[in-house]
Amino acid sequence: MRYQIAAFADEADAKISGQIEAMRAEGISLLEVRGVDGKSVADLTAAEAKALRARLADEGIAVWSVGSPYGKSEIREPFGPRLDEFRRGLEIAEALGASNIRLFSFYLPQGEAPETFRDEVLERLSRFCEAAKGSGIVLCHENEKGIYGDIAPRCAELQRALPELRAVFDPANFIQCGQPTLPAWELLAPYVEYMHIKDALADGSVVPAGCGEGHLPELLDQYQGKVLTLEPHLAVFEGLASLEQEGARSDVPTYRYASNREAFAAAAAALRKLLGESA
C-alpha cells in the first residue's frame, strides 16, 4: 500500500488492552498515542512509557506520534509551567520511540483579534522547537478550533516563521472553522508531515472519511506523505470533554454507532474504501 495507517485507538477503547485489540482487528500497526488506561499520555512517567513501548512491540505495534495536549492552553496563562510540561513530554516521546509530537498554537480569548497574539504565539512555539532541538522528534502543529492556527493563512504564517515546525493537516477541523480544505491544502502542502483522517459536513458534524465536505479523495491523491492517522470522532468517547476547550463540543448527529469499537471499525472501513478508490 502507498500509505501506512496509524490511529488514535483511544477512540476505540480507553484501556490499552482494548486499543491493541481494536488495532489488531483492523490491521493497524502504528499508534498515535493520546490516552492510556484513562490517563493522558502527557501524564505518563518515563518508566510507564518504556513499559508501554515494550508491550506494544510484543503486539507488533509502534508509536508513530504522541497526540499531546501541548499548546492547548490559554495564551494568557503563564508559559513557564507549560514549557516544563513539554520538556517532560519530550522524555515521554523518546521513551515511547515516537517520531513526532502533535501540538497546538494556544487558545485565544474570544472576541479579540488573533493578530494581537501573533508574536506571543510564535515566541512560545519557538521555545518548544528550541527544547526539541537535537531530540530527533519532529514537532507537528495541528489546525484546531479556537487556537491561533485554526485557519490556513495563520497556519501558513506559523510554518513560514518556524521552518523546523511541521504540520498535521486535519480536514474536519478546517471545515468546522469555515475554512475550505482545498485552498488550505494549496497553502500548507509543503509543510505537511502527515494527515489526520477525519471528515465533516458543512454544519461541523463529523462523518466517516469521504462522506463530508473535506474533499478527502482529492487530498489523498495529492498527499505525498507516508502516514495517515485515523481519528474517527464518530461517537463521543470516554475523556472527549477533557480534550476540548470549555464550551466546545464535537458534533456527531448524523452518524451514530452502538459502541466506540463499532465507530472505530466504521471509520477504518471508510478509510480503506477511500484508499482503494484513490490508489
Helix (H, G, I), strand (E, B) or coil at 186: helix
pLDDT in tens, 3-36: 999 999 999 999 999 999 999 999 999 999 999 9
**Rounded to two decimals, what is the model's pTM?**
0.91
Centre a 10 Å sphere on the Cβ of residue 27 and count the other Cβ atoms it contains.
Answer: 9
Which cell numbers hold the place of 41? Answer: 499520555
Amino acid at 262: E
pLDDT in tens, 168-227: 999 999 999 999 999 999 999 999 999 999 999 999 999 999 999 999 999 999 999 999
Which of 40, 8, 215, 250 has the alpha carbon at shortest distance from 145? 250
pLDDT-above-90 percentage for the chain: 87
Helix (H, G, I), strand (E, B) or coil at 28: coil
Q: Residue 235 has what pLDDT?
A: 59
Q: Residue 234 has what pLDDT?
A: 87
List strand residue ranges (DSSP E) for the chain, in order.
4-7, 30-33, 35-36, 39-40, 62-67, 100-103, 138-142, 166-169, 192-197, 199-200, 206-207, 227-230
Q: Residue 246 has what pLDDT?
A: 57
Q: Are strands 166-169 and 206-207 parallel, antiparallel or unpaired?
A: unpaired
Which of 172, 180, 177 has the alpha carbon at shortest distance from 198? 172
Mean pLDDT of 241-245: 56
pLDDT above 70 (res 238): no
Could you give the CA distance from residue 31 to residue 21 in angstroms, rounded to a whole number? 12
- Residues in a beta bridge with 66: 33, 101
Confidence class for position 2, pLDDT limits 50, 70, 90: confident
CATH number at 4-278: 3.20.20.150
The residues spanned by each domain of the chain are 4-278
Q: Residue 256 has what pLDDT?
A: 75
DSSP string, 207-244: E-TTSSSS-HHHHHHH---SEEEE---SS--TTGGGGS
CB-based burial label for 81 (10 Å; 0-12, 13-18, 19+) = exposed
